[in-house]
Amino acid sequence: MLAPPSSRRFLSYITGESYHAGSTTTTHRIPGWLNVIGWQALAASGAYLCATIIQGLIVLNHPDYNFQRWHGTLLLWAVICVAVLVNTVISSLLPKIECVILIVHILGFFAIMIPLVYMAPHGSASDVFTLFLNQGGWKTTGLSFFVGLYGNVFAFLGQSPDVDSMKTDG
Amino acid sequence: MSEEIANASTNVPRSMLVSILLNGVLGFSMLIAVLFCIGDIEGIIETPTGYPFIAIFVQATQSVGGSTGMATVIVILGICATIAFVASASRMTWSFARDHGLPFWYYLSKVSQALPGITSTIRHPPQTLLTWNIDMLMTVSLVGTGRTPKFNPSRLDSHHRHDILPPRSHQHRLLHRLQRRHLPDHQRSVRFLLPRLRFAPSSPNRRLHLPPQLRNEPKDRHRRR
């Protein structure tokens, strides 16, 4: 709403903010609802990733583990409980926690990068930059590239222009 | 969330840009490094863990304990990211409830049991809302336990609400100036978007690196008159 008039119409759909403050008609609130639901789903998907990575590690370390999807859901609930506890009980410490997370983030980057690069057999540069595999059976490699890009976009940005996407493996 | 930050109009964009630069540089360099370290790509895709990056770690280090440790770092960062996501999501929901934009706004906007309608979350985290939040998240998570084995949960991604607002005294002036009838455009946009709730296929190589990002770049700019 605090934008040049030429882009105000377009941006009002993106920012999700109603330009009629105090209005209670539902048609003006739909962008806001999408925004709110999107954030809720983002939080749930963050917890889902943590839970399924934990499950993957269990599979790695105990090959006789009977993988069940509801185990992942319960782990997800545990992650959410931790997050909500941190947000309610020690919420005043949140800025300091974020500082600690930043330090862990940077140290963790090196903790993963250094063993990986030092100990792995290095591939060839032509493979890395020119080899494109289409294992999913898509019509063209370009389409497969954009399909794969979606996961990376989610990881780096956390948000996308799509309102809603549900995923199945091809 | 910008309401709780001192000197928000400079600090928030600065932190947005720093986080983008930092995560962009680190993420891109990690991507190139991991691509160089992929050995047997068929084995990585077929991994029983469900995440190719764990298989890459195992192939690179040839040790299950070491790769578990490396993946644990990622899990810890992911849990911290989830804490940040829950914080943002709850504050977003609470501010919409405060503006009466959601159903049950009266209950969602309560900050403490005795005083409904406080306009700040600095000292009073919204308890009711966080309880509602946890219920909502648990309900959304049940999507993941679907019948189909390869069914992934929905990823509703939204655009970040631009929280940098001018002081209250200026807001009413600006709102009166910006009064326009955008209803037809709204209806058109909703009608365009709703049929696009489509099934998109997932990526075959799910290399995931979760930065604990709080904020992204603003979509519009605050113009000082």
Predicted ipTM of the assembly: 0.74
Q: How far apart are CA B207 and CA A108, in angstroms?
A: 16
Asked if B50 and A56 touch (Cβ cutoff 8 Å), the reply is yes
Give the largest CA-CA distance in chain A: 62
Write out chain B's pLDDT in tens, 225 residues.
Answer: 666 667 778 888 888 888 888 888 888 888 888 888 887 788 888 888 888 889 999 988 888 999 999 999 999 999 998 988 888 888 877 777 777 666 766 666 665 444 444 444 444 455 556 666 666 666 666 655 554 444 333 333 333 333 444 444 454 454 445 444 444 554 555 555 555 544 433 333 333 334 445 444 444 445 454
Residue in chain B lying closest to A69 (CA): B145
- What does each C-alpha distance from B186 to A9, A19, A75, A162, B195 come to in angstroms? 9, 11, 39, 17, 15
Is the CB of A4 inside 8 Å of chain B's CB atoms? yes
Instruction: Please give the angle made by the CA atoms of B136, B137 and B139, to the nearest 5 degrees.
Output: 65
Task: Report the range out of A5-9, A86-90, B165-169, B215-219 with the highest average pLDDT.
Answer: A86-90
Is the pLDDT confidence value at A6 over 50? yes
Q: Which residues in chain B are closer than 8 Å to A98, comparing Cβ atoms? A: 84, 212, 214
Between positions 97 and 126 of A, the ones with CB within 8 A of B are: 97-98, 101-102, 104-106, 108-109, 111-113, 115-117, 119-123, 125
Mean pLDDT within A128-142: 76
**What phi, psi does B198 have (nearest 5°)?**
-115, 165
Beta-ladder partners of A165: B198
Angle between helix axes A94-119 and B8-36 (nearest 10 degrees) is: 20
B212: left (phi over 0), alpha (psi -120 to 50) or beta: beta
- What does each C-alpha distance from A41 to A77, A165, B108, B165 come to in angstroms? 14, 11, 18, 26
